[in-house]
Structure formats: structure tokens, C-alpha cells
Structure 1
């Protein structure tokens, strides 16, 4: 691990020093991060730190490098942000990783949008939209922390809240058009970070970005930000200042959507009308919070007045001037009292205070109905304490050992408490406890179901299917009720006898002995075949459902099956052939995407027959390797496209044996005018880099030329002659010789193969 961490750090340093290596290093670090669990925080921290510095801190100066590679981050961000580990096990995951992931998404959202304008990809946009909608749904909760209550959660998880606020502002700016009178830019004008990327750049014929829903969502998010600012609760200064700064940015870039709402908020805001948290006992902290928020409000009003933002609206300018004077005088009064003064900033008890006539209307009671500190319906850990604790975990009472109190006193306390408590509050507490219990039960049940499924899968592979059917049939027979039968009575007597056994009669010593499974019965040949086919089908079914995270594991199953066919069941040709047919059918479903498995399987077939078993040379044409190599080529070639050349070259170059019979299957693709290069390029590769196949390739070109002459295909003739002149010029005279009887160009087929099939 330490070596891998050092490598990542050195690679990051190299990328920042020389941006030419950035793309390669970025791809590698993303792959490493996706392959590791979130709980591996040391490695994930280094991976995320590199991306954070590249895209958020802009250590990669190039605008195009960051924009062009932004879409590569989507899968990694999805893993960090939308994950069950994040929801339940936040204490095992570095909180900063999630916060940085949100900040990365915020810094690259407009880049992703720009890339999808240029190169539409609906699948990637679906992932981005899913991630965006998920994060919007978490505003302004305590995500990724587990919730406590609505009041307290406003002041928790501030880091991620601020990151989410920046994301919302970036989405607003990107999904709303810039003002009509602004200097518009086309996509090709995007050269640095000062460029304004917005929905205005989207063409009308774009398949999914040209939609009114994005514009509507952008306007809705403006209300999301303002609704939090307009809430009756007092916001922490760090969050308040961030929201104000974001609103002012939007005020300048999207004034036609935000100016009126922003100005009305600034005029209406006064911290003394905001309720502090019901559970905040530090009065000094509350006073400082109010004064800092007021100071930000004053600075904002002063800037709007001094820089001429509202000069055109004289009545509005007058209102701002009056409000600023009032706020300055209020600040002076507070300074006179001093920050440590116990006197309330609102002067709510001073009826003669002319500076704040509206102070009498302050809300004395918190508008949010809060009964318990911890109202989360999710159990934070798998303990009874986490189910039943509703008070602040920092409260000394939460750690009190109640078992030290005699039970009779506990009973009296409970009875007295039940008689005093409000029934609605009691019901709410019971609902919370019940919800936590059900959440924990479902989690544990899901875990048990996974274990049971694994155990059942392992058991079925060793049990006889016929035995299972008979057992099920026996169970069904027992369920049938027959009033005239005495079996019911016997069963009831047996149950009663079991119930009547006391602890004294129970032999604990014998029951505690190690349990051993009975020896399985010997299966007959037909049963063995059925069981092996069942196992093979399960392996193939498992591989068909492979994902990115589990693809390595499924490749292992495929390797096991290929060796089972060539080595494990080679004494039973019927079973071995069934496995081979199953493998071939599996690869047929996506032969281009599963080319790695195809090559590995065919190499295993060749190795088993001609290296391990050392079969005779004459048997190679009848071997399973030749049969299935031919089938793979026959199935693959019709579906090859011009952009599949690399796949085809790799297949032909890594097959352990090739001869003229296999090469001849390339005739159809070489003769196709559209795909001929896809056929000739692998052939050229074999001629240049695989000497044992050289003569067979030349003979294939000769045969192909002959076929082209017969079909009067001049283009194909020219192509074949070009390769022959370059790599076998001495053969040209015989190829071009005339058949006197037919008068057409034919080939004098001389034997030019003569190669050793086993070493080819």
C-alpha cells in the first residue's frame, strides 16, 4: 500500500510539472480509485486529492485539458457520492472525500455540459443527471451525515452544504441563458476559464440538451437558495456568506433571473428576526453569528449603492440608503454594549427603542416543532443504544449506566414519566424508535439473505436435484390435511414431546459435539451429467451479469470452465463438449466485447491438446481448437466494422496456431469493398511479424487473387498483387500465367506451405 501511495504521489507531481502526462496519469488514477473500496481512505484520499488539485485548484492550467477530460470523472463521482457505504458507515469514510467529490462535480459541471454539447452521449448525460438530482434532493440536509432534526441539521455538515451551494449556483449559471445584450461566444471561442458556458450554446437540433426543463430547473434552484436564506432559522455565518457571494455572482451573470429576488432579500433581511437553534446553549456564539451576518448585509448594501447597481431606480436607492443607515446605527449601539454583554441584541424588552420598532414582533418560540434532539429514523450503529437514544449523545445522561439502579426504582420512574409526558410526544418517540428498529432489521435481514443465498448456491452444487425434488414433495405431502389419518396425532404428540423436554433432561454435552455433514451418496453417470450441466449453466449465468467491479471475478469463472472442458472432464467427451458449447454461446452474445475470454479459452484448448497431451500432428485438423477457432471466426467476421481492426488484429496475432484453412475464412471480409482494409491489415500484420504463417498468408493471397480474377474484381486483384509483389515477388510470374484452355488469369497452385503445424 505504501508503495502504491508513493507511486500516485510521484505521478501527480509529474502531471503538474509536465502536463503532457496528465491524461495518461488521470486515466490510471481513476482506474485505481474505481477498483478500490471507499473504506480504503488513504489510497482514495490520494486519488481524489490529485483530481481536486487538477480541476478545483486548477493546477492544470490548460482550460482544454480540464474540459476535454471532465467526463472521465463521472463514474468516480457516482461511486463517492451515491453509495450505501456513505449513507450508513460515514464514520468509516473520510468526510473530506465526499466534500471534495461534490466540489469536483461543481467545478466540472459546466465542462461536462460543454463536452456533451460538442459530442452528445445520452448515457453519460443520464449518469450526470442522476448524480445532479441526487445532490439536489440532499439540499439542505445534513448529507452525508445521518440526520438528527430539522433545526440542528441546518448547522451540521457545513462543508458539504457549502460545496452543494456552489454546485447549485454552477447548475443555475449553466442551465440559464446569459442576458441578450451580453457578448455571446460560440463553442469555438472557449479558450479559458473566463468564458461563460451556458445553455445558450446549445443548438436547436441537440438530441437532449435543448429542452425547457433545464431552464425551469435552473430557475427553481434560485428559489432553493433564497428559501434557505429566508427561513426563520439563523444560518451559520460561513454558509450565509457563501450563499450571499453566490447570489451576487448570479446577480452579475444572470441578472434577468436573479436581480429582483436578490435585492428584495437584501432589503428584508434582519438577523434579529431569525431564531437560533433550540439546542444551541452558547449565547456568545449566537450573538457573534447575528453580528457577522448583519455585517455581511451592510457590506452588500454599501457595494450596491457605491458601485451604481441601483442608480437607475431612485425609490429603490432611497430604501437601500435608509436601510443602510439603520444598520450602521444598530451596529454602533451594539459596539457600545460590548459583545460580552448579556443584553439581547434585539432589545426586545426595551419598548422605547426607536432604532428597532419592529423588534416587538420577534418570534419568541421556535417555529420548527422539535421534540427530540435526535429524530433520525436510521440507526447509527447495530446496538440497542442507537435505537433508543433520542437525546444529544454528548449529554452525560446518554452515557449513564441505568443497570446500576434497582429495578423497582426504574419501574417507578417509567410509570411517573409516562403519566407526565404529552401523548403526542410519546407517540412521536415510539415511531422514531420503531423506524430505527425496522431499518436495522432490514439491514441485518438483507445481510443474512446474502449469506443464505451464497450458502444455498454452494450447497446446490453438491446436492442431487432429484433429492431436492423428493424432499419438496415430502414437505408438500405433510402439508396435506387428512382428518381420518392418525399421522396428524403422531405429529402433534412428537411436537408435544419436544416441548415437554426440560433443561434437566437435555443432554448438553452430546449436543455440543462437533456437527459433521453426512457423506453424500454416490451419483450415477446421468445424475453427474445433470449436476455438471447445472453448475456450468450457473457459471455462465453469473458471467453474463458481470459488472465493472466484478469483471475480474467472472473472468476467473470462465478460466475455470475452460480448464474444466480441457482437463477436468476430458475423459467424458459429452460433458466436455457441453461446456465448450456453453462457452461458445456465451461469447456469441458479445464476441467483440469478450475477445479476451475467447483468446484465453482457445489458447487453453491448444495448450491442453498439443503441449500437455502431445497429440500427433495429423490430429490437429480434427481438434477442438480448430473446430471452435473456425466457429469464432465465422461468427465474428460478418459483424466486423472498420473501427474493429485492432480487435481483429489482436485475435489473429494471439491465436496459438493458424493455417490456410483458418485464413481462408477472411475471404469474405477482404472481398468486401467497404471492409477490405479490416481484412487485409491483420493479414499484413501476420506476414510481417509472424514468420511461421508467412507461406500460408501468401497462398491465401494467391487463392484470393484467383477468386478475384474469376469474379472480374479488379480492385481486389490490384490489392492482392500489391502484397505479392512486395513480399513474394518471385511468385508473380506463375500467378499471372494464362491458362491456355480458358484464356483467363489463373494461378498455378504450387505448394508453398510446408510449415510445421504444431509450432505455427
Structure 2
């Protein structure tokens, strides 16, 4: 049990991440082998299932599966000799997925003949089970034969430039391969295809095998166009209703329906994928013929004589008329009146036909027309039927009159109408103490002013929630922020932009309820919530100080979340970064303005002790720029846009361009940013030229490009440098006196 639990843990690890398969499979092979020490049948079953699941898993590529598949061939060969249906089925499934990998390995390395010999032994064992094995094993054999036919039939033409994308087929096999002769492989594939087609034309008693073969043929038609016509011709000559010629039983009916539906689904998929009009006509003609045959088989009403609808006891009306016998009139069936009060229409309605009962005589506007219709009808009424109808209406009227009188008398005496009926009252068991308490709690109070229905309802007020501590408020705020950013990460930016949200200076935040509105709200929560809270105020209460600290911490949490959200895909989310920095700069300006107003109000006091507002904009801008510097490439022109659109630049921000120029591949991008700022942001021209001059003096790789710009913007720097060089050269050539 310990080994099984450990193996199950390894399987769970591999299912979570496909990269572990290449290390787990070699580790478990010595444990699950047939000749391993201490192995049991349960371990071998687990091993067969694990190998079938491993090589069918799409979580790791076929290139990584190929070397691992060569190591498990010996284990699969041993499993085929075990007398257990479950092990054999899983082994055949694993062999079906491994066969193309071993084939490709042998094609590329013909000198390595060991894996191919083992694969031939496994293939021979499986093909021998095709006719005599249990149905479940035979279905797995059909899957294996399908893979062999896929591999050993010509596929699409190969592309020598992209060998990794070529399909594994007979096309990649050289004509002179020493281990796999081309002619033998092609003939074997054609013979196995005939073997599959013989299954659908053979005995239909095994419906699962026939449907499995039809499903296997569908993939062959799709992936091997060279043999598609051959398969379709065989399928179109196939009779899925073959069992209808034998005596029909419930089992045979189910088998016929299953095979017929699978065949119809196969042909409809082929018709949908193939644009050939002639093929569509052949398939539609075949499906129409099968549909007619199905109706003939299952519609018993068309094959049998219907049962007689007339009575056979000699009392049929039409026959008695011919014989001259007296036919007794059956008693009319009158529907009962509904309970409760009834209308005159319901009282006089005796015909159950809804069309007659709902007929409105008001449609006859002309009385003369109504008289011409009504008088002949009254003359044709049978007197006996009219008398019966009058008696029924009289009986109804009397019954309703007695019921109304009885109800009035009971109401006058205070007796309920339902008191006359005898109710069923079961003998309940004695209630225990807990049941009595629950019943008393749910009962209305006895000392009330009157019935519960007449008492006014008192206003209900929910109890106030307990106050949150600072830690709880911070934790709940962090949870909300993470939830909001998780929702934003799931939104596709392209789909949000396609909605046509209005931008520019006239837009309003949170009017479109999209990603842009959510980001704007978060940016303003991060910036405006902390505005003014750092200023000391002696009149602030202690409980407000707690909220102040919590608000400030919440704003920092939002800033951290915004930074992480932008850096996750900063090239696409550069607009969000620019909007965030604009909000930070605007908030800093508001704080500076508020500080100046306080300074003017405190001119008579000690204005020197007023704190300087903290600049969040500069700190966030440097943080974003430092984060981008690690990932910026020479082709990322988005940096030019970011530097040019942020609201304020200083020397420390532009010094990042000098640091980025230390990378030889990003020198041109740094020079481009400085050149753009000099041309389109005149307020920072002096800082830009200073940074460029510093770059020219300290960075040899940037000197040629920086020199071109300095010759236009600050030529005296180059002239001074030339004079210094000339003086140095003249001093070096002075004649030294001989001592």
C-alpha cells in the first residue's frame, strides 16, 4: 500500500505539470516492471494505466516523449504476457501512442534496431488478438491498427525546411531504409486498412466493435486524403441495418440504432469538411436511402394492418341502420359544474366542445340574419334531447340553490362550512420538552392588544456591526483591491477598446463601466485618499487618526497593486501608467496649493514649522521607470511616448537615460528620447542638454551620436574640448632640456 500511495503521489505531481513526466517515468519503471521485486497485480495495473495516460497526455511535447518511449518498450512487451484484461487494454493503448514515436526514431537512426524489434514483437502480439480477444481488448486493438495505418500510409508532402512540423507517415520513410522496406510497410498498412473495413461489413452482433471502427475510420479520412476515397466507397456500400433481416429483438433494435447513428454522424462530418459537390450528392443520397430503410424497419404501423376502430359485438350504428335495428341512444355525458359560484353561461352550457361554448352571438349585428338562422335550428331540435337538457339544467339549478341556502344558515350560526366534513386527526406521539419549547417560541404572544394581524408592526432595525480594528480594515481593503485587479486582468483590452469609450478632456470617469473607468477610480483612490492626511492637526480626534493611517496604508496598497498590474504587461498598459502618474502629479499640486494656503493663514504664527508635502509623483515615476529599464529593448519606441507624456521631468528622471545608455544596444534609444524631449518639451531643454553632455563625457559608446547633437545645441562644449586637446598635444611635444 505504501508503494501504491507513493506512485499515486507521483502521478498527481505529473498531472499538475507535464514537465515532471520525463523524470517520473524512468523512476517508476523499475517498480512497475513484471519481474520487479515485490511487484503485485495492483502495481502492474497502475503501471499500465499510468503509461497509457502518460504518452497520451498533451501537456508535454512529442519530442520529449520520443526518448522516454524507447525505455518503456520492454515493460509493455512483458505486460502483454500477463493474463489480465485491464493490463492488456492499457498496454495496447500505450503502444498505440508510442508506435509513431518509435517509427520516427527508427527512420532518423536506422543503426539503432533494438527499439524497432521490440515494437515489432508488440505489434505481432496485438494483431493476433484482433479476432479472438474479449470485446474491450478488440476495441483497443482497433485503436492500435488505426495508428499503424496512419503511420504506414502516405501523408501530406513533407517540408524539408520545417521537419519538426511534418506528420509522421510513410512520406518521411526513405526508399532504401535497411530496417523498414518501403514496399513492405505500405503493403502492411493497406492490408490492415482492409482488415478494418472487413469489421464493418462482417458480423454486426458486436455493436461496440463496429462503432469503434467507424470512429477510427473518421480520423483516417480526415488525415489521409490518399485513402479517403477508398474508405468512403466502402462506407457508402455498408448497410447499418443489416440485423433487420433477422428476427427483431430489443437488443437488435438498440444495435441497429447505434450503428446507424454512428454512420450518419461520420458521413455528415465528412460532408461538412469536404467541399466536393459530387461527394455531397453521394452522401446525401446514401443518407436518404438509410432514412427510408429505417422508417420501414421501425415504423410498424406501415407494415401491419391497423386494429378495427368499430365495435365487434354487433352494436355498430352504421350496420344497425342497414339492418333496420333500433339503436338505443346513449346517455349524454354532462360535465359537472365547478365548485363555488357559477355564472348563467356555465349553468346552461352542456356541450363540452370549446368552440361551441365560446361562440359569441353578438357577431350577428343584423337581427334578420339571426332569425333566418335560429328558426330552422329550433325546428330541427329533437324534443327528447331538449327535455333531457332542461332536466339537467333544472337539477343543476336546484343543487346550487340548496348549497347556497345551507352556506347562509351555517354562516348565521357561526359554523364553518368545512365543520360538517369529518377530518382525519392522527394520534400524535407525546411531545418532548424541546418540541414544546420550539412550538411556544413560534406562537404569538398572549398579552398583545389583539390579534396578530391587527397589531401594527414595529420598525425593525438591524443591529450595528462591531467596529473594525485597524488590522481588519487593512486586510479587507487588501482583499478588495486584489479582487478588483484580478477582475481587470481577466478583461481583454482589445474588446474593451472596441466599445468606443469616449476619451479626451471632456470624458468623465466611471460613466462607461469598463476597464478605463475602473482604472481611473483606482488611481484616484490611491492619490486623493491620502491628500492632506499627512498634515498635522491638533484638533483631529484619536479615532480619526486610526482611519487616517488606514487610508494612507490603503493608498500605498493600491499603488503597489497598480505597479504590479502595469509591469505584468507594461508595453500594452503604458496608457494606464501615464494616467496614474498624471493623477499623482495633480494630487501633489493640490497638496502644494493647500500648504501655501496654510502658510498664508499662519503668517502671524510660526510658518517655518509647516511640513513640506511629500511628492508621490516623483517616487512613483522613478519606480515605474526603474521597473521598465530591466526589460526595455532597443526597438521599444514606447519609452519615448512614456517619457514625453508624463507631466513633469527633472534631472534625476533623465539621468535614467544616461544609465540606460551604458548598454551598447540601447544607446540609440537613449539618444532618441533626449532628442525628442529637446524638440517637443522646451521647459526641460537645459536638463536634457546637461544629461547629453554628461553622457558624451563619460560614455565612449555614446560619444559619436551625442557629439552630433551637441554640435547643434551646445557647440562651445566641443570647442573647449578641442582647445584642451590641442594644449595637451602642444605640451607633449615641447623639447626637454638635456641635463
Normalising TM by the smaller chain, what interval?
A: 0.3 to 0.5
Q: Which has the higher contact order (CA 8 A, sep 6+)?
A: 1
Larger Rg: 2
Instruction: Please give the TM-score of this superposition, normalised by the length of structure 2.
Output: 0.38
